[in-house]
Structure 1
Amino acid sequence: MELRPNDNNNISLTRFESMLKTNHVLFFDSEEFENIIHHYLNLGKIALAKKALKLGLLQHPASVNLKLFKVEIFVFEDDLEKADTLINDLYALEPLNEEIYIQKANILSKRNNHKKAIEVLEEAIKLCEDPIDIYSLIGMEHLFLDQFEEAKFNFMKCLEADIEDYSALHNMIYCFDFLDQHEEAIIYLNKFLETNPYSEVAWHQLGRQYFDLEDYENALTSFDFAIISDDQFIGAYLEKGKALEKLKRFEEAIENYSITLRLDDPTSFALLRIGLCHQNLGNKNLAVQYFFKAIEEDPLLDKGWIAITKFYIRQKDFQKSLYYINKALNIDSENVKYWKLYAKINERLNLLEEAERGYKKALELGNYELSTWLTRGDILHQLGEPEAAVSNLIQASEFYPENAEIEFRLAGLYYMLLETVKGSYHLKNGIRFDSESVIILEELFPNVYKSQQVKSLLKAKL
């Protein structure tokens, strides 16, 4: 039982905290101690929970429930051996106590023995009158085992017993989503809503399922019903805004995002989406104002920095776009998207060394897109570094074998380096993989393309 203000439990808590300040030991019955400990555990105040438990066991040394809290704290502190020993002692005393089974399962779960934990929890169900919480625990154990169908079934059992168990509802929908069962989720939620028509959470989840299926009209209707059920539901307004954007109803989307700003503190997500809507409406000044508001709210919002940078790229103001992407990199130098934009902007400004640095950094951070390898190779070629370009493309070929765009580039580079055997090898590969891509050789390496040796080879192969 959790403590609530203005009840007897709150009085117990006040007395306990007063006792700690004065060092005058007061007597509490065991149930009072249980509530005090439970309160502190819920708040994450483990030290206070342990103090209450220690005093509780001094005053009530035979209390099984207090000892179960001791097990819970042992588990929290990963002292599983002590937890296991104590829970076995308690089982010998009260073999029909469902809470002992629950804590035993908790220990097994901590040891990653989820299958055995499920077996123990299923035994606990036989002992209790209200098994809702146990079904939820079983569902979580199945999630640990990636058994999503079984998990989904148990969360449904929770909802059958308590229609307001939103934690179970969210977990169940997570299972539907993971299994890519959007249609099945829609059927379930519509049936659920027949008997619970004012469940704003269910309407919200239904809307998300329609959204994932790109059925934006039905998504919109669902979010509207979520708002009718709770007109303070910020998540529903945000999702409704997203659906309206997909339907290109940008002014209405702005209206819904703006409502969230009035209901609570502004979020960077809502500010960014408003900016993007204004951008789609051609309201350039308003768009960039909201982009700046978004990063003021959250300087780590990469989508905000990217939106500002791309805004100035569209205006062909590459100096400003470079300025803002540099500011973004100063905040997060490990962001691949920033480095890609940095490289592209420098390329547009013909600052090839900086552009190459950007693409190289993107590759180092794991951006292995073909275009990144190819563009970096072309820039190295332009910078007069054919050996580095070859090394770059050889690495690319490991990720993209039998790629004509890579092979024709390697052919041109090797012929430039007078390594004709290697050049011929890659030229033949390129022709074999995609002969029409020979235009790459003509455009990037015109002198090689016009050479007699290459002409003869092309004539023989094409």
Structure 2
Amino acid sequence: MELRPNDNDNVSLTRFESMLKTNHVLFFDSEEFENIIHYYLNQGKMSLAKKAIKLGLQQHPTSVNLKLFKVEIFVFENDLDKADTLINELYALEPFNEEIYIQKANILSKGDNHKKAIEVLETALELSEDPLDIYSLIGMEHLFLDQFEEAKINFMKCLEEDLEDYSALHNMIYCFEYLDQQEEAIVYLNSFLEKNPYCEVAWHQLGKQYFDLKDYEKALAAFDFAIISDDGFIGAYLEKGKVLEKLKRFDEAIENYSITLKLDDPTSFALLRIGLCHQKSGHNDLAVQYFFKTVEEDPLLDKGWIAITKFYNKQKDFKKSLYYINKAINIDSENVKYWKLYAQINERLNFLEEAERGYKKALELGNYELDTWLTRADILHQLGEPEAAVFNLIQASEFFPENAEIEFRLAGLYYMLLETEKGSYHLKNGMRFDAEFAFILEELFPNVFKSQQVKTLLKA
């Protein structure tokens, strides 16, 4: 029995807490102590759980169950040696107690000995009359070992014992997805739903499988059944909205997203999707209103700020785009997507120094896409900083070896710097990798392109 603060059955808990305040020792039977400890552990109140274990063992020094709670505390505190010593003592007293095996497996698992933990749990299965929790534990141990097929089988066994074990259902679907067995997952879920036709979680998971396979009509039907099973299921409305978007039924998608706003506090995801649906329907005023609501709800959601920035970009209002991407950067200066957009907008406005700064920051934050390196090099060239452009491109070549676009740019820059030997070397590389990109010299380095040496090499 789990105690809850407002239950009529929490007399033991009230007496226990009163005893702690007054230091007046009261007697509790061992089962009462077990319930009190269980309550504190569930609430995460470890210090109170430890006090209850200590007092419980003072009053019931031979209680194996209270000592098992002590083992649990040792494991939680990562004191595995003490936990192991105590569990071995308990095993000597009660070698057929399944809970002793479960805690032994817990100790082994915490010590990363998952194979041995599985062996111990399989022994516990032989002793257990209610194997549900043990199958779940075995499944989790297999997950730790990346043994997804074995994990899946054990979670299926959980569902054979209890059709409403939604934790096992989620874990099993995770295994199907990791194994890329979506068709098999669909077969299993349909079979499961024949036994439990009003399981909204299974309908929801079935819809997600169909969605991933781009079978949007079947996905839509599955999410509808999830909503019929539970008309307050927010996740089903959100997923249904996503399907309707794929089917370009934007008004219906908005309707489903809007239902979630009434069922619970607004989520930034739903607000953003409503805005995007309005934008796709050509309702620009409504779209931007919802984009702003999105960032009001969650100022750290980069997709919201990006939607606003791109909205004004599309309207060719680059100054407003720049204003809002600057606001986003002020909130999160380590977001690489913000810096890339910042660079692109400044480039459109011909603010080249700021654009270069944006691309540089994007690179520093790990955006190693080819276009980032190339665009930054071209801007440095325009700013009259050929040495910096060369250094940038040499770094780029480490990520993109044998790339003609990099080599032709390096050739042009070295010729500009009168380092003709290096220029010739990179020009020959560019021709060898892909001669079609030779136009780069003509576009970016016209004076170099006109030189006789370069023309000769291009014809070779």
- What amino acid is aligned across from residue 408 of structure 1 in structure 2? F
How does 1:176-255 map onto structure 2 within 5 Å? 176-255=176-255
CA RMSD of superposed structures (Å): 1.1
Q: Give the match for residue 431 of structure 1.
A: 431
Determine the structure 2 residue equivalent to 1:45: 45
Which residue of structure 2 aligns with residue 105 of structure 1?
Answer: 105
Q: Does 1:171 align with 2:176?
A: no
Q: Could you give the per-residue CA deviations for residues 397-443 of structure 1, whole angstroms, max 9, x where no partner exists?
A: 11111111111111111111111111111111111111111111111
Match of 2:117 in 1: 117
Preserved contact between residue 9 and residue 36 of structure 1 (Cα < 8 Å): no
C-alpha contact (below 8 Å) 1:210/1:216 kept by paired residues: yes
Counterparts of 1:226 and 1:136, CA distance in 2: 25
Q: Distance in 2 between matches of 1:218 and 1:2?
A: 42
Q: Is the 8 A contact 1:114 1:141 kept in 2?
A: yes
SS across alignment from 2:442? helix
Superposition deviation, residue 9 in structure 1: 4.1
* Matched letter for residue 78 of structure 2: D
Find the aligned partners of 1:242 and 1:117 in 2 and give their Cα distance. Answer: 42
Asked if the contact 1:267/1:297 (under 8 Å) is kept, the reply is yes
1:132 counterpart letter in structure 2: L
Amino acid at match of 1:439: F
Q: Does 1:139 align with 2:152?
A: no
How far apart are the structure 2 equivalents of 1:360 and 1:403? Answer: 20
Matched, 1:358 2:370: no
- Can you list the C-alpha shifts for 1:240-277, whole angstroms capped at 9, x where unaligned? 00111111111100000000000000111101111111
* C-alpha separation in 1, matches of 2:196 and 2:409: 64
In the alignment, what sits opposite 2:85? 85
Determine the C-alpha separation between the residues in 2 that align with 1:327 and 1:180.
41
1:313 is the counterpart of 2:338: no
Alpha-carbon displacement from aligned partner over 1:68-91 (angstroms, at most 9, x marks no partner): 000001111111111111111101
Identity %: 86
Return the offset for 1:24: 2.3
Q: Single out whichever of 339-348 and 420-429 deviates more from structure 2.
A: 420-429
Distance 2:331 2:142 in 1: 40
* Offset, 1:197: 0.6
1:275 equivalent to 2:267? Answer no
- Paired residue type of 1:459: K
Q: What amino acid does structure 1 have at the position aligned with 2:74?
A: F
Distance in 2 of aligned mates of 1:390 and 1:375: 13
Q: Equivalents in 1 of 2:7, 2:242: separation in Å?
A: 44
Counterpart code for 1:47: S
Partner of 1:3: 3
Q: Is contact 1:109–1:117 with CA below 8 Å preserved after alignment? A: yes
Matched-pair contact (CA < 8 Å) for 1:9–1:35:
no
Q: Which residue of 1 aligns with 2:285?
A: 285
> Which residue pairs with 1:344 in the alignment?
344
- The one-letter code of the counterpart of 1:29 is D
2:7 & 2:340 partners in 1: Cα distance? 60
User: How far did residue 2 of structure 1 move?
Assistant: 2.0
Instruction: Return closer, same or farther for 1:166/1:434 CA change in 2, 3 Å cut-off.
Output: same
How far the C-alpha of 1:394 sits from its partner, in A, is 0.8
Quote the residue 1:158 is aligned against.
158
In structure 2, the partner of 1:299 is 299
In the alignment, what sits opposite 2:57? 57
- Please give the alpha-carbon distance, in whole angstroms, between the structure 2 residues aligned to 1:36 and 1:215: 51
- Superposed CA deviations along residues 279-335 of structure 1, whole A, max 9, x for unmatched, are 111111111111111111111101001111111111111111111111111111111
Map of 2:368 onto structure 1: 368
Q: In 1, are the aligned partners of 2:57 and 2:63 still within 8 Å (CA)?
A: yes
1:170-225 deviations in Å (ceiling 9; x for gaps): 00011111111111111110110111110000000000111111111111110000
- Cα distance in structure 1, aligned partners of 2:216 and 2:435: 44
- Whether the 8 Å CA contact 1:339–1:359 is kept in 2: the answer is yes
Does the 8 A contact of 2:336 with 2:367 survive in 1?
yes
Matched, 1:405 2:374: no
Name the aligned partner's letter for residue 141 of structure 1.
E
2:4, 2:39 within 8 Å by CA — same for their partners in 1? no
- Could you tell me how far apart the structure 1 residues matched to 2:399 and 2:364 are? 14
Contact 1:442-1:449 at 8 Å conserved across structures: yes
Which residue identity is paired with 1:400?
A: F
Q: Take 2:160 and 2:242, find their aligned partners in 1: how far apart are those partners?
A: 31
Q: Which runs of 5+ in 2 are unaligned?
A: none
User: How far does the alpha carbon of each residue in 1:125-162 deviate from its partner, in whole angstroms, 9 at most, with x for none?
Assistant: 01111111001001111111111111111101100110
Q: How many Å apart are 1:4 and its aligned residue? A: 4.9
How far is 1:113 from its partner?
A: 0.7
Q: CA deviation at 1:18?
A: 2.3
For 2:46 and 2:5, locate their aligned partners in 1 and report how far apart those are by CA, in whole Å.
21
One-letter code of the match for 1:434?
Answer: D
Distance in 1 (CA, whole Å) between partners of 2:219 and 2:18 is 54
Report how far residue 8 of structure 1 moved. 6.5
- The SS at the match of 2:10 is helix
CA distance in 2, matches of 1:8, 1:146: 45
Q: Figure out how many residues of one structure are paired with residues of the other and give that number.
A: 460
Tell me, in whole angstroms, the C-alpha distance in 1 between the residues paired with 2:286 and 2:108: 56
Is the CA contact 1:404–1:431 (under 8 Å) kept in the aligned structure 2?
A: yes
Name the amino acid aligned to 2:243. Answer: A
1:9–1:32 CA contact under 8 A, matched in 2: no
Letter in 1 for 2:109: S
Query: Alignment partner of 2:394: what SS?
Result: helix
Q: Shift of the alpha carbon at 1:14? A: 2.0
Letter in 1 for 2:230: D
Give the C-alpha shift of residue 5 in structure 1.
Answer: 6.7
Quote the offset at 1:22 in angstroms. Answer: 2.7
The one-letter code of the counterpart of 1:160 is: E
Distance 2:208 2:110 in 1: 33
Is the contact made by 2:309 and 2:325 (CA closer than 8 Å) also made in structure 1?
A: yes
Code of the residue aligned with 1:323 in structure 2: it is Y
